Amino acid sequence: MSQTTLETYFSKVDELKPAFIQRLSDAVAIPSVSSDEGLRPQVVEMAHYLKEQLANLGAVDIELKELGTQPPPVINSTLQLPPVVLSRFGKDPSKKTVLIYGHYDVQPALLEDGWNTNPFELVLKDDKLYGRGSTDDKGPVIGWLNAIEAHRNAGIELPVNIVTCFEGMEESGSLGLDELIEQERDAYFKGVDAVCISDNYWLGTKKPVLTYGLRGCNYYQVSIKGPGADLHSGIFGGVIAEPMTDLVRVLATLVNGQGEIQIPGIMEMVAPVTPEEEALYKDIDFDVSDLTAASGSNTALYQSKKDILMHRWRFPSLSIHGVEGAFSSGGAKTVIPSKVIGKFSIRTVPNIESAKLDQIVIDYVNAEFAKLGSPNTATCELIHDGAYWVSNPHNASFTAAAKATKAVWGVEPDLTREGGSIPITLSFEEKLKTSVLLLPMGRGDDGAHSINEKVDMSNYIGGIKTLGAYLHYYAASDTN
């Protein structure tokens, strides 16, 4: 790939900026809220909008893949899941094939939630584009279409074959997508060399990042059962063993005030920090003040950048979420709850084995409960789990993305992980046996699920350039 090609592409993106803003504006105007059954027609409308746009841009084999009816709980039991929009640009066997994933559904949004402007109208203010989906994830999805249009318009051949996979249920658990990936693995998705997902954010607001890891999450509950019904503490206080007493004593043994997991055997499974990994943290643009701002409090457990990021990204954590069955309202109630259920979860990282973790946790909770000598009964169980994901941030796809970032932004991207999970990442990697790259467009302060969601104009335009440039650098890479 010549430097001229990229420069031509970048110029074309700048030239088409008004059209690219209009396209995002058209997309934001469709309130494709997947969690609102009443808005399901608008989610489907958004799929049709994408189909039309893709057709205009020259895509072939366009399919709206139906995923069947939405499983319970639903109000309307015949509610159809929104389709997955599949399409192709190019089928050249001599080229690499990149699958681009994004989602066209959005989080709910109401003006009265505190938005400064109508959430379903793209508004430009102070060089920021406000609107629901502007950054999560219509900005990146439309960004891909824009990148393709810029190529077309500039007469630049796409350097790779592209397969699009745009879903409409991401904000509601990606229902049906796993099955679709499995089903199309050797069909529509056959020959995919790399997957690129643009659905997360820069760590901060100044420096672009590439994301190579996500923590997993194993969620547990411990149920302690005593009396047959809730009792009055005046009559029964002091004479029967209270489940809530047992529960707080068990929960208190899980993690200490410094956030250190107290269950033996978990930290032992964590992969040691290698010098190579350690070096990744050195240049990352982050500071304890970013954490303080984000949490709205001076309650950080660590002060150094490396400690904070490592504990967010590559060490496990244990959070106690709450108690079901106990008194939970304001005021005072003299109840002895008969059955209480404590909820906690552990964020998992390499090389924690999920099944082994479950056994360690359950055995530990049972042992701690047994120490109490309580006549109540306790049960600890896993409610759900999702595995961690870590990629090699120096593979061909990441290297191409780093070069693209450098070409657009003039800096090497920070290599980051995230503390939460994006389960579909692992699905693509495992089912398609390809590397997955997380190439974010927006900034850490975009407010993805909040009011006044925005994408900075520079990120939107810079992001379109980066997505296109990535395709060129990846096409030119030696490795597959």
Q: Which residues carry out catalysis?
A: 105, 170
Residue 395 has a CB neighbour count (10 Å cut-off) of 16
Tell me how far apart the alpha carbons of residues 115 and 402 are, in angstroms, rounded to a whole number: 35
Q: Are strands 209-214 and 216-225 parallel, antiparallel or unpaired?
A: unpaired
* Interactions with a second copy, residue window 418-447 (CB under 8 A): 418-421
- 402 contacts a second copy (rule: CB under 8 A): no
Burial class of residue 275 (count of CB atoms within 10 Å of its CB; 0-12, 13-18, 19+): exposed
Does 157 belong to an annotated binding site?
A: no
Cβ closest to a second copy, residue 244 vs residue 407: 244
Q: Which stretch binds a second copy (CB under 8 A): 154-162, 263-271, 318-326, 357-365?
A: 318-326
Reported as half-sphere exposure (CB side, CA atoms, 13 A), residue 417 has a value of: 28
With CB under 8 A as the contact rule, the residue among 83, 337, 393, 442 that binds a second copy is 337
Q: Are 205 and 409 contacting, i.e. CB atoms less than 8 angstroms apart?
A: no
Give 245: exposed, middle or buried? Use CB within 10 Å, 0-12, 13-18, 19+.
middle
The token pair at 359 is 């056994």
Q: How far, in whole angstroms, is CA 66 from its chain's centroid? A: 23
Task: Find the part of the chain contacting a second copy (CB under 8 A) among 176-184, 188-196, 319-327, 404-412.
Answer: 319-327
Piece of the chain touching a second copy by CB under 8 A; list 62-70, 174-182, 253-261, 265-273: 253-261
Count Cα neighbours of 349 within 13 Å in the Cβ-side half-sphere. Answer: 23
Query: Is 269 near a second copy (CB under 8 A)?
Result: no
Q: How far is the CB of 176 from a second copy (least distance, A)?
A: 20
| Interactions with a second copy, residue window 83-102 (CB under 8 A) | none
Confirm or deny that 171 is annotated as ligand binding: yes
Count of residues touching a second copy (by CB under 8 A) = 82
Question: Is 311 marked as a binding-site residue?
Answer: no
The DSSP output letter for 383 is E
* Distance of alpha carbon 11 from alpha carbon 157, whole angstroms: 16
- Determine the Cα–Cα distance for residues 270 and 391; give it in Å rounded to an integer: 16
Q: Ramachandran region of residue 149, left (φ > 0), alpha (ψ -120 to 50) or beta?
A: alpha
Choosing from 4, 78, 274, 329, the residue that interacts with a second copy (CB under 8 A) is 329
Instruction: Please give the C-alpha separations between residue 282 and each of 39, 200, 277, 306, in angstroms, as whole numbers.
Output: 46, 22, 10, 8
Q: Please give the Cα distance from 227 to 191 (Å, whole number).
A: 60
- Of the candidates 146, 207, 172, the residue with the CA atom closest to the CA atom of residue 10: 146
> 232 labelled as ligand-binding?
yes
Contacting a second copy within 275-314 (CB under 8 A): 291, 294-302, 308, 311-312
Cα distance between residue 438 and residue 397, in whole Å: 10
136 marked among binding-site residues: yes
Stretch that binds a second copy, among 119-127, 177-185, 338-346, 470-478 (CB under 8 A): 338-346
Task: Select from 132, 347, 403, 465 the one that contacts a second copy (CB under 8 A).
Answer: 347
Radius of gyration, alpha carbons of the chain: 25
- Is residue 347 marked as binding? yes
Instruction: Give me the count of residues in the chain.
Output: 480
The binding track of 354-373 with respect to a second copy, each residue x by CB under 8 A or -, is: ------------------xx
Judged by beta carbon, residue 215 or residue 403, the one nearer a second copy is 215
Candidate ranges 83-91, 111-119, 139-147, 329-337; the one touching a second copy (CB under 8 A): 329-337
Among 57, 154, 156, 248, contact with a second copy (rule: CB under 8 A): 248
Out of 24, 28, 165, 255, the residue judged to bind a second copy by CB under 8 A: 255
Counting contacts by CB under 8 A, is residue 452 touching a second copy? no
Residues of this chain, 186-225, that bind a second copy according to CB under 8 A: 215, 217, 219, 221
257 binds a second copy (CB under 8 A): yes
Q: Which of residues 122-151 bind a second copy (CB under 8 A)?
A: none
- Would you say 70 or 87 has its CB closer to a second copy? 70
Task: Extract the annotated binding site.
Answer: 103, 136, 171, 199, 232, 334, 347, 421, 449
